Amino acid sequence: MHDCGATRTRSQLTRDLGLARGTASVLVAGLAEDALLHEEPAPGHARGRPTQVPGPHPQGPVALAVDVREDAWELAACELGGRVTVLAVVPHDGTPQGTLGPLGEALAGHAHRLGSRVIGAGVALAGPIRHGGLVDIAHLGWRSVDVPALLSRRSADAPTPPDDAQGTAPAQGTAPAQGIAPAQGIAPAQKARPPLFVGNDTALAALAEARRGRLRGVRVGVHLHVDFDLGGVLVVDGHAVPGASGSGAEFGHMRIGASDRLCPCGAIGCWGTDVGANALLRHVGLAYGGGRGREQAERVLATSEEAVAANARALGSGIAALVNAHDPEVVVLSGHGVELLKRAGEALLAACEPGLMAIRRDAPPRIEGSALGWRGSLLGAMESVFDAFLTTEGLELWRKSHPDQACDTPDRQSVTHSTLNGESAP
């Protein structure tokens, strides 16, 4: 149910899993009793016994997911099946304390309000992650920032909201969690602090693409995420290759071409300095760096053919090197990469083809825009939480902490759409 986005009927899932109908009925009844799913009639069903579609239970598990970009963070509550309710979109000042402090307070507030429904929080960050949570974001000057420690410290210091509150006192850009009901029967104070999962934004976007997008069912693929600069990772059998220390999603820091420009990461000639919003701003003579200029870069992307073509050519040249090295079936572009492919696809392909080995030129991989747009990192953060939850241990813990579930009487969920870059949540 989760993997298919809560879109397939019980009959379809029964066939997919090779189950007998009686067995499927028993399983569905047990999962509903455990508040893990609820069934509703399939839309458009007119005659006979209504076809049921399993979906998230109104008292079921919730994963808090966060996409921390260089200029803002977005926080959402996510249910089984991938249903997303955006809770907050908050600009930050680029410092570790100014970014993670308000985020820690927001996480604590929503975890308190939702109580025992919260099974964990996943956080995507725009930089390499080492040793379980140390992040470096070169453009912001972050070096070995202990993200779990900062989030935990601020969440521990955050004031406890009253039990009858609709949520914490909202930070700038925060919306109430409409459509996400608090847990029933268990006081929020009795809930232990939910586990935290921290990951690189590109690697998590690739995970989401492998579960719900263009990389689904692909054995070997490359995912490139273009924001202020470029991140990239190899995806094998649905998993981003993490590297020895967990910081492997850094294709943007390969030296491609003859550039001698110093990258904020400390290396010279990084590919990512020529691709993304910073490169667009630099091309037209505008200030860039430090997470500044998103709106200006989007205007350049929409109006300057020359800047867009230069960005696309740099992107295409690097893709050729990755194709030669990894032999992927498909290269997927997300973030600004979708628009670059749409507006300057010919320039991108023209720069890519001469760099391909002859054997690669005969059957080059597809280059496609992400099916998830800007939402990939947020959805990947969600998947990191549900991956840990949808295990024997995770489900057993849920059952033990929810011994007396309410009857399966759902409220229709409402979804607050994402406003970061104007994208709607799925």
Give pLDDT tens digits for 380-409.
999 999 999 999 999 999 998 887 654 444
With a cut of 60, say whether residue 215 has pLDDT above it: yes
Residue with tokens 């047990």: 30
Q: Residue 232's pLDDT band (boundaries 50, 70, 90)?
A: very high
Q: What is the reported pLDDT for 154?
A: 58
**pLDDT band (50, 70, 90) for residue 193:** confident
Residue 424 CB coordination number (10 Å): 12
Residue 63, pLDDT score: 98
Residue 374 phi/psi, 5-degree rounding, is -85, 0
Q: What is the pLDDT of residue 176?
A: 41
Mean pLDDT score of the chain = 87
Whether the CB-CB separation of 191 and 121 falls below 8 Å is answered with no
Strand-pair partners of 67: 74, 124
This model's pTM is above 0.75: yes
The pLDDT of residue 94 is 95
**Residue 410 predicted with pLDDT over 60:** no
Task: Compute the distance between CA of residue 393 and CA of residue 80 in angstroms, rounded to an integer.
Answer: 17
Instruction: Note whether 25 and 116 are same-domain residues.
Output: no
Mean pLDDT of 93-103: 96
Do residues 155 and 89 both lie within one domain? yes
- Would the pLDDT of 185 be above 80? no
Q: Is the pLDDT of residue 174 over 90?
A: no
Number of domains within the chain: 3
Residue 157 belongs to what H/E stretch?
Answer: helix 147-157
Does 229 lie in the same domain as 174? no
Structure-token pair, residue 191: 């809930």
Neighbours of 48 (CB within 10 A): 6
The residue type of 162 is P
Q: Is the domain of 122 the same as that of 264?
A: no
> Which CATH number do you get for residue 272?
3.30.420.40
Give CA separation, 298 vs 282, 336, 349, in Å. Answer: 13, 9, 22
Position 101 in a domain: yes
How much is the average pLDDT of 245-260? Answer: 89
What are the φ and ψ backbone dihedral angles of 9, each rounded to 5 degrees?
Answer: -75, 165
**How many angstroms separate the first and last alpha carbons of the chain?**
15
Q: Which domain holds residue 174?
A: 62-202+375-406
Query: Any idea how long the chain is?
Result: 426
Q: Is residue 137 part of a domain?
A: yes
One domain, residues 171 and 265: no
pLDDT digits (tens, 9 = 90+) for 43-82: 865 565 678 999 999 999 999 999 999 999 999 999 999 9
> In the predicted model, is pLDDT for residue 124 greater than 80?
yes
What is the C-alpha separation between 252 and 203, in angstroms, rounded? 13
- Per-residue pLDDT of 268-318, as tens digits, reads 999 999 999 999 999 999 999 999 999 999 999 999 999 999 999 999 999
Q: In terms of domains, do 229 and 258 share one?
A: yes
Residue 239, domain member (yes or no): yes
**The dihedral of CA 87, 336, 366, 324: what is its sign?**
negative
pLDDT for 289 equals: 92
SS3 label, residue 122 = strand
Looking up tokens 């029964």, which residue turns up? 14
- Answer whether residue 22 shows pLDDT above 70: yes
Q: Which residue has the higher pLDDT, 356 or 257?
A: 356
Tell me how many degrees the CA angle 138-145-211 measures, rounded to the nearest 5: 80
Has residue 423 been placed in a domain? no
Look up residue 243 and give its two tokens: 């590297």
Is 5 inside a domain boundary? no
Same domain assignment for residues 113 and 237: no
Q: What is the mean pLDDT of residues 158-177?
A: 40
* Same-domain check for residues 176 and 31: no
Same structural domain for residues 177 and 269?
A: no
Residue 419 forms part of a structural domain: no
- 187: confidence class by pLDDT, cuts 50, 70, 90: very low
Query: 191 lies in a domain?
Result: yes
> What SS3 class is residue 1?
coil
pLDDT in tens, 254-269: 998 878 999 999 999 9
User: 147 near 125, Cβ under 8 Å?
Assistant: yes
Q: Is the pLDDT of residue 168 over 60?
A: no
Token duo for residue 365: 């991989």
383 shares its domain with 351: no
Task: Name the residue type at position 299.
Answer: R
- Nearest in space to 235 (alpha carbons), one of 265, 215, 260, 262: 215
Identify whether the C-beta of residue 55 lies closer than 8 Å to the C-beta of residue 6.
yes
**How much is the pLDDT for 157?**
57
51: exposed, middle or buried (Cβ count in 10 Å: 0-12, 13-18, 19+): middle
Identify the CA nearest to 214 among candidates 329, 377, 318.
329
Same domain, 130 and 263: no
The verdict on 218 and 305 lying in the same domain is yes
- Tokens 């996409």 identify what position? 67
